[in-house]
Every structure is written in structure tokens, then in C-alpha cells.
Amino acid sequence: MKQFLKWIMLLILFAFIITSCPEPNGTSNQEPNDTSHTHDWSKWSQTTAPTCTNAGVETRICSLDSSHKETRTDQNAPAIGHNFGTWIVTKEATKTIEGEETRACTRKDCVETQTNTIPVNIDSGLPPIFRTGD
């Protein structure tokens, strides 16, 4: 009987070691509290496209239980950066007040803008013959 119990204990220990071994990429092959099965992961697929400031995200799903998912940053889809349009004068400079120009990122769903100050224009309102920049 003792011999039988030793074998059972060894078998349980062996089963625990096999099911808790990490996968080649270093992640556990099970959810922390899930002992119902060993995951059969799908291939990684991009689930979120990269944006101006964030890399894409990829996900893989267990074929045995689709509620078990893993996500990670997609190394092949880094953030794409802003694509700013042309500068638009939003406030003209005068002889005494600075002006302002603005440009916006043209990518979909991006609201990033840049603003520059236009220096005071001492020639504003003067006839062309008296302007210093002409």
C-alpha cells in the first residue's frame, strides 16, 4: 500500500511539473488559477493597429477556451508618428501683438496640434515703400 501511495504522489508531482512548465517564449502555458487544461494557442495576430504614439497590439487565443487570451506589443508595428499638415495662420501679427500659426496631424482620429508664435510685425500697416522686409 505504501508503495502504491509513493507512485501516486510521484505521478501527481510529475503531472504538476509538466503542466506548469513555461512555454519557449517564457510565458506560462496556463492562467494563474486555471488547471482545467494546457492551452493550445493560436498564432499571434494584430488586434490593434499602431497609432501616432502607440505601437500595435497582437493577441493569441486558446483554441480550447476562447476566454483565455494573451496580448502583447506587436514588435512589427511600432508607433507611426504624427503627419503634420501645413501651417495655418490663426491670428495675424500686428505692430504690437504677436500672431499665431497652427498645424494639425492629418492621421485619422488624431487630434494632436502644434502652435508657433508669429513675431510682432513692425511693418504691419505701413505702405510697402517703408517696410523693412521688402
Burial 95-108 (b: 16+ CB within 10 A, else e): eeeebebebbbeee
| Global pTM value | 0.54
Same domain, 75 and 95: no
Residue ranges making up the domain that contains 102: 88-123
Q: Walk along the chain (134 residues) and give the pLDDT tens digit of each residue.
A: 667 666 666 667 556 555 544 444 444 444 545 567 788 999 999 999 999 999 999 999 999 999 999 999 999 999 999 999 999 999 999 888 999 999 999 999 899 999 999 998 776 655 555 545 54
| Residue 74, in any domain of the structure | yes
pLDDT of residue 121: 78
| Residue 109, in any domain of the structure | yes
Same domain, 42 and 73: yes
Same domain, 118 and 95: yes
pLDDT of residue 106: 95
Contacts of 99 (CB under 8 A, 6+ apart): 89, 91, 92, 93, 117, 118, 119, 121
pLDDT of residue 67: 92
pLDDT of residue 22: 46
Same domain, 44 and 73: yes
Same domain, 48 and 72: yes
Number of domains composing the chain:
2
| Residue 53, in any domain of the structure | yes
pLDDT of residue 16: 57
| Residue 132, in any domain of the structure | no
Same domain, 71 and 53: yes
